[in-house]
Structures are given as structure tokens and as C-alpha cells.
């Protein structure tokens, strides 16, 4: 096998090399190269483990509290360093860091899986059973088999139990399913044997440490600055936005990116099953997540509970991770009609399919309510090349025919796959008229705003301002003092 790619990752001070290998006619694989530990050194590590267990006092609350894990690691790290210095006074700092990191992985972490959790290029980590190597989903190379295995089904079970305990849940033979979060924010799902026929399985979806931003999506052609300028204008003036798309098309990522357009002086409530959204620091944001019932069936907090409760929290804007059921949709559309600005995602592959999903079971919203949605963005993923694109951007047009409400899509922009461009399709029939009615802006003023916003977005791309908080800082400055931001762009001066 030949080398395709190589890079270094680090976990708790321990460095390891990642080699992506493959070649023509071969399946690519992910090989992790960690420095070998000799038998005498392994004996020393085991001895240190026993001493640490004896000498470091840890309360049950510290073990179970996810927020205490980083403090626990520091406590163990400090004590392990002292013990190593006593045993081997001449030990090099690099070697000491490696041994201490290895100890932390074994005692408070998940062994070599810790390296995978710290690899920013991975999106998914899958343990299928003790008989199979761990597989990972790489951002660049897709699914890859690794050279890492977990020794036994018991160890997989122990990892699952550790994850469960830290979030106050249980996973047992009688209750063999677990959906939880790691300390890092990554989402973990576990299924025990015999429900998972091959053996105990764990799936970890990694939480983006460095999330996508407006700059990234324009630079990689997922969408255009022209489209983002229109979405920005709609969000600024409290229009309602619905983002559709298939599985893995980038709906949540797109929604997360769009939140940067929200003004800093408004209260934002987000509601999700699992925490995925990451908003810039300048926003006034309260994230809420659902909770599953305990083994006795008590303590559940469902999305509908949070949605109803959010209306009592004086929100200016409500973000719903995903709309799935009729009750959620009813409350969400009611919020739209009572003056709240609402953003949500839904599974659908086109604007027309979005309408059908909304007006038929299981969501089953009355067609006349769809008029409250001002813009619909449809995301698309090309499964062959892996690229994601804004497939359609448009509005819903409602009308009444013979006493029946009809909803039709009006597509403003669409993606042309032949030359990979996003082009205008039809003029707006609703959006600009509603913007004028809500803001008093004339069409000329709206066009001027769109041009200004496009120039700011192009400036971000040109100057490679791409981190979440840097982009957020520019947006914040624009809302607080738009003239100075526009002046800086016109004179090509630094904004941040």
C-alpha cells in the first residue's frame, strides 16, 4: 500500500502520526502510529496506575460530573508527574508527558480512541464489535478502516457505561440503547449485544471544534455571497426561514452559519435533540436540549415541552433543530403568527417536497399556515463527489381555489449541476413586498442594502476572515456602527 496523506495529532500531550494509505485497486485505510511501549515501561505504567488509584482521592460526584473531568485530569497529571520524578529522576520531559498522557487515556479516557476524538479531520467514529477494527468517517476520504481494535466486548461495555454515568443515565442488557454526549460535546450512541447482533457497538458523531462559517461556504461554492446577502437581509428584519435537505446535506451547518446574521440585542432560544449549534459569543443566546426518560420512564423533557416553554422566555428568535412532528410544527407556526422570528430544518429534497412534507402526515400543517414562512433554502449533497450545494432558494405562494388552500413554490435561485453555478430563476412575488411592508424600505433601498451586504461578505472571503468569532465580530460591528464598517471596506482597511 502507498501513502496518500500524513499528518500528526495530539491527545493529552501524546503525539501520534496518522497515515492514510491505499492505492489503485485498494481500499483506503487509516493507520495510527503511536510510539511503542516496552514491557518494562508497561510494568512501570501499571505500577503508577495502582499508586494513583491509592493516593489520589476522587469523590463519586467528581467521577460522574462531566464538568469535573478536566479538573480530574489535571489532578492525576500533577500526581503522576510527581511519582515519575521520584521513580526516575533523570526522565526527559517529553517521555514523562508521553507516559502521563497514556495513563490519562487508560484511566480517565477511552485508550487509543482518544486520538480519534482529537483528530479534527474525522466526523464519525464507529466501534462495531471487538472482532472488527474501528472505522472512521474522514472529511476528505470518507469511510476508512483503522488499525485500532478494542480488545474485548467487556471493554466496549465499560466505555459505554462510563459515557452513560457521566450524563446520569444507564445502559444495561435490559436497557440496551444509549444516546448521550461526551465531555467534548461529541454525540455518542451505544447499542448492546444481542440487539446489535455482532457485538456491543458505539457510534460517536464528532462535534465541530472549528465550525463552518459564511466565509467557508462562499469560498467552497456551497452558496454565493448574493444568496447570503438576501438571507442576511431577511434575518435582520425578522423574516422566518426554513432549511430543507436530505440526510448529510448540510442543513444544520447552514442554519448555524445563518445565525451569525442575527442582531446582538435580541434574545435567541435554540431547541435541539442533541446540541449541534454553535453561535458567536456576541449573541444573546440560550441553548436548550431535550432529555430522555430515566430507566423508570420518568424525567423526559421532549422537544414540544421546550418549544412551549420557550414562548414564556421572552424570545425574539426561536431556532428549532429539526421539525418532525405535528405538535412541534403547530407550536412553531403559531410562534411565527404571533410575531416571533423562527428558524428550523426539515427533511426534504426540494421546495415542492418540503411543501408536501409539511402539509401531509406526520407533520400535517394546514396549508394556509405555510404563508408564514418567508424563505425556504434547500440543501443538496452530491453523493458521488461529496460536495454540498444550495440547491434551491425560494418562497411559498399560497392561494385559495374553490375554498381550498393551495401552496406552490416560487424558486428565486437554483443550482445548475452542469457548470456548478447557482443562478437566478424567477423574480420574487412576496419577499420584497413583505420587507417593504415591515420596514418601510423602498425597492431601491432594499437593493442598496443587498449590495452593501454582498460587499461585506465578499470582503470576508477576500481577507480570509473565517473563524466563528471573527465573522461574528464583523457582524457585531456592522450592527453597532454600519457606516464605519462600510467605510473600512470601501477604503480596503482592516475591520478587525
**CATH number for the domain harbouring residue 227:** 3.40.50.300
In this prediction, residue 432 carries a pLDDT of 96
Structural domain ending residue among the three candidates 111, 144, 165: 111
Domain count, the chain: 2
In this prediction, residue 380 carries a pLDDT of 96
Q: Do residue 106 and residue 243 come from a single domain?
A: no
Using left for φ > 0, alpha for ψ between -120 and 50, and beta otherwise, residue 402 falls in left
C-alpha–C-alpha distance, residues 475 and 455, integer Å: 13
Residue 25 lies inside a defined structural domain of this protein = no
* Mean pLDDT per 10-residue section of the chain, whose length is 496 residues: 91 92 89 86 81 73 63 81 83 84 84 93 95 94 94 94 83 90 86 96 89 95 98 97 94 95 95 88 93 80 94 95 90 90 96 96 94 97 88 95 89 96 97 95 96 97 95 95 93 86
Place of cell 420574487: 428
Residue 345 lies inside a defined structural domain of this protein = yes
In this prediction, residue 61 carries a pLDDT of 61
Q: For residue 201, which of 216, 215, 191, 188 has the smallest C-alpha distance?
A: 191
Q: Do residue 241 and residue 367 come from a single domain?
A: yes
Structural domain ending residue among the three candidates 111, 138, 153: 111
What are the grid coordinates assigned to 402, written together?
Answer: 374553490
C-alpha–C-alpha distance, residues 13 and 101, integer Å: 6
C-alpha–C-alpha distance, residues 80 and 92, integer Å: 14
Residue 138 lies inside a defined structural domain of this protein = no
Residue 21 lies inside a defined structural domain of this protein = no
In this prediction, residue 59 carries a pLDDT of 64
C-alpha–C-alpha distance, residues 101 and 9, integer Å: 13
CB 1 within 8 A of CB 24: no
Residue 9 lies inside a defined structural domain of this protein = no
Strand partners, 190: 178, 202
C-alpha–C-alpha distance, residues 64 and 262, integer Å: 37
Q: Which range of residues forms the domain containing residue 448?
A: 214-490
In this prediction, residue 463 carries a pLDDT of 95
Structural domain ending residue among the three candidates 91, 111, 131: 111
Residue 286 lies inside a defined structural domain of this protein = yes
Residue 205 lies inside a defined structural domain of this protein = no
Amino acid at each position: 500500500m502507498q501513502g496518500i496523506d500524513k499528518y500528526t495529532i495530539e491527545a493529552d500531550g501524546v503525539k501520534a502520526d496518522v497515515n492514510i494509505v491505499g492505492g489503485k485497486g485498494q481500499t483506503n485505510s487509516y493507520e495510527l502510529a503511536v510510539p511503542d511501549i516496552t514491557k518494562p515501561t508497561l510494568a512501570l505504567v501499571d505500577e503508577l496506575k495502582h499508586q494513583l488509584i491509592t493516593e489520589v482521592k476522587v469523590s463519586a460526584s467528581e467521577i460522574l460530573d462531566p464538568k469535573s473531568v478536566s479538573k480530574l485530569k489535571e489532578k492525576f497529571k500533577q500526581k503522576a508527574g510527581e511519582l515519575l520524578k521520584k521513580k526516575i529522576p533523570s526522565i526527559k520531559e517529553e517521555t514523562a508527558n508521553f507516559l502521563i498522557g497514556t495513563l490519562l487515556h487508560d484511566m480517565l479516557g477511552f485508550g487509543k480512541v482518544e486520538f480519534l476524538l482529537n483528530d479534527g479531520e474525522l466526523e464519525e467514529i464507529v466501534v462495531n464489535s471487538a472482532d472488527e477494527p474501528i472505522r472512521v468517517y474522514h472529511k476528505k476520504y470518507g469511510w476508512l478502516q483503522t488499525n485500532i481494535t478494542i480488545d474485548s466486548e467487556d471493554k466496549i461495555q465499560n466505555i459505554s457505561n462510563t459515557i452513560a454515568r457521566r450524563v446520569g443515565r444507564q445502559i444495561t442488557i435490559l436497557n440496551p440503547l444509549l444516546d448521550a454526549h461526551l465531555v467534548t460535546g461529541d454525540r455518542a450512541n451505544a447499542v448492546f449485544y444481542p440487539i446489535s447482533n455482532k457485538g456491543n457497538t458505539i457510534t460517536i458523531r464528532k462535534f465541530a471544534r472549528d465550525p463552518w462559517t459564511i466565509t467557508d461556504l462562499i469560498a467552497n461554492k456551497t452558496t454565493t455571497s448574493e444568496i447570503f446577502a438576501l438571507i442576511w437581509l431577511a434575518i435582520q428584519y425578522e423574516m422566518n426561514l426554513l432549511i430543507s435537505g436530505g440526510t448529510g446535506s448540510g442543513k444544520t451547518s447552514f442554519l448555524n452559519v445563518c445565525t451569525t446574521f442575527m442582531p446582538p440585542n435580541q434574545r435567541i432560544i435554540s431547541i435541539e435533540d442533541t446540541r449541534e449549534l454553535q453561535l458567536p459569543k456576541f449573541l444573546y443566546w440560550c441553548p436548550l436540549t431535550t432529555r430522555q426518560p430515566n430507566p423508570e420512564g420518568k424525567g423526559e423533557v421532549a422537544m414540544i415541552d421546550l418549544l412551549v416553554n420557550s414562548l414564556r422566555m421572552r424570545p425574539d428568535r426561536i431556532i428549532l433543530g429539526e421539525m418532525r412532528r405535528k405538535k412541534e410544527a403547530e407550536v412553531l407556526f403559531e410562534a411565527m403568527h404571533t410575531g416571533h422570528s423562527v428558524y428550523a430544518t426539515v427533511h426534504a429534497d426540494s421546495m415542492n417536497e418540503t411543501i408536501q412534507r409539511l402539509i401531509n402526515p406526520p407533520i400535517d400543517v394546514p396549508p394556509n399556515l405555510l404563508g408564514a414562512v418567508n424563505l425556504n433554502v434547500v440543501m443538496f449533497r452530491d453523493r458521488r463527489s461529496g460536495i454540498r450545494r444550495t440547491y434551491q432558494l425560494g418562497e411559498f405562494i399560497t392561494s385559495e381555489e374553490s375554498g381550498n388552500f393551495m401552496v406552490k413554490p416560487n424558486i428565486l435561485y437554483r443550482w445548475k449541476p452542469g457548470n456548478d453555478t447557482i443562478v437566478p430563476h424567477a423574480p420574487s412575488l412576496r419577499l420584497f413586498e413583505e420587507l417593504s411592508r415591515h420596514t418601510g424600505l423602498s425597492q431601491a433601498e432594499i437593493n442598496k442594502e443587498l449590495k452593501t451586504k454582498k460587499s461585506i461578505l465578499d470582503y470576508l472571503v477576500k481577507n480570509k476572515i473565517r473563524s466563528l468569532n471573527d465573522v461574528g465580530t464583523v457582524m457585531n460591528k456592522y450592527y453597532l456602527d454600519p457606516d464605519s464598517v462600510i467605510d473600512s471596506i470601501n477604503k480596503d482597511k482592516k475591520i478587525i
